[in-house]
Amino acid sequence: MELLEQDVEAIVISLLHSYKYPAHERRIRDIAKETIKKAGKEIPIFASVDYYPVRKETHRTNTTIIEAYAADPSRETLAKIDHMLREHGADFDLRVMASHGGTISTQANELARTLVSGPIGGVIGAKYLGEQLGIRNIACSDIGGTSFDMALITQGDLSINTSPDMARMVLSLPLVAMDTVGAGAGSFVRIDPNFKSLTLGPDSAGSKVGVCYPEGGLDTVTVSDCHVVLGLINPDNFLGGEVKLDPDRAYAAVKEQIADPLGLTVEDAAYGVIDLLESQLRNYLESMILGKGYSPTQYVCFSYGGGGGALHTAGYTKILGLKMFWYLHGRPVFPHSAAVRQTSSTAMTKRSISTLMLTARMTASCSPAKNCSMPGTN
């Protein structure tokens, strides 16, 4: 009742050994539902055993919390998209890219499996394209407005992390292995007050672009402001002309915040920011490859992303010794049949996660006499 008095929006239940003995957790769930019903309220209940019945209670609890807080509320948005598609004549079921590299139905029980599916879609697309081009070793790099995401495809295969760490939370989700750093076209640019040197991020303007975007309401210079100053972004054709940028605001902000304090011209200051960003991205990419025991000379770099891939790929790949690099205009998108059937690793990943969840549920609640199904893994 205390939780009801606090007007909570959802309740998560997780017991230490529910993956093995689920009856107690489910009984708590049923009691909670009865109590909520008597109180005349509607509050969703999330029992971890109904979603991620696996060992490691911290991982399981974190994942169920994400399911309740972020994933499940997205069902309404997905339902609206599906409805709009059908209104326009679509005769197929909407599917969503999943963290393990396959696709899942929007009706799937565990929607938290769509976590970080955008960058992962890029990796799966790069793998597919590599298969068509006969390229087996690929260094994937996704430059966004906020982050720089990297992944390796080695000998045609990608790695799966079964206990990924997201925002300091370890989860019970299979995730295509990626390294992510806070550096992108939206990264804020500042001068370190102690060393009088440029610093980038890790915070970002996100969709607000920078000072050059008057409607964003920002007053701190971003990498995108430097793009505008140097003429690398057409202020009249940003997002196809849908968003108008103000080069004068960008110039004035870079002059006041970066150029004058460092005793540089505005153009030199903006170029220095770009050079620093590309140097950092180069170091990140090289460190990832070397840290896994490989050499950049063994890989072809595929670059994509909406945060300036075309602007920075040549800069951060030079002197690494990469065989070559490809810039992919936009993130590759493939039909369900290509992503799941033609891309063998995606199909295998889909089967492996199904096997993992099925084994967990059978351990928790099945006997040879029961018909053990696996809800949610559509």
Residue 238 — very low, low, confident or very high, per pLDDT cuts 50/70/90? Answer: confident
pLDDT at 328: 67
Residue 155 DSSP symbol: T
- Residue bearing tokens 């690793």: 345
pLDDT at 221: 95
Residue 279 — very low, low, confident or very high, per pLDDT cuts 50/70/90? Answer: very high
Residue 330: left (phi > 0), alpha (psi -120 to 50), or beta?
left
The more confidently predicted of residues 168 and 251 is: 251
* pTM check: above 0.85: no
Kindly state the tokens that stand for 350.
């889909």
C-beta of residue 158 within 8 angstroms of C-beta of residue 343: no
| Helical axes 247-254 vs 266-291, angle rounded to 10° | 80
C-beta of residue 308 within 8 angstroms of C-beta of residue 207: no
Please report, for the chain, the start and end positions of each structural domain, with discontinuous segments joined by +: 2-71, 93-378
Nearest C-alpha neighbor of 144 from the set 226, 97, 204, 221:
204
Lowest-pLDDT choice from 183-187, 265-269, 285-289, 359-363: 359-363
The more confidently predicted of residues 154 and 351 is: 154
Residue 171: left (phi > 0), alpha (psi -120 to 50), or beta?
beta
- Report the 10 Å Cβ neighbour count for 29: 19
Across residues 206-231, what is the average pLDDT?
A: 92
Parallel, antiparallel or unpaired: strands 45-47 and 11-13: parallel
- Residue bearing tokens 């610093």: 199
- Residue bearing tokens 């890989």: 299
Across residues 215-239, what is the average pLDDT?
A: 92
Residue-wise pLDDT tens digits, 4-37? 878 888 899 999 999 899 999 999 999 999 998 9
Kindly state the tokens that stand for 285.
């990419």
pLDDT at 154: 95
Q: What b/e sequence results for 201-223 when a residue is b if at least 16 CB atoms lie within 10 Å of its CB, and e otherwise?
A: beebbeebbbbbbeebebeebbb
pLDDT at 353: 40
Residue-wise pLDDT tens digits, 133-162? 999 999 999 988 888 999 999 999 999 988
- Across the chain, mean pLDDT equals 82
Residue-wise pLDDT tens digits, 70-126? 887 888 888 899 899 999 998 888 888 888 888 888 888 888 888 888 889 889 999
- Report the 10 Å Cβ neighbour count for 26: 17
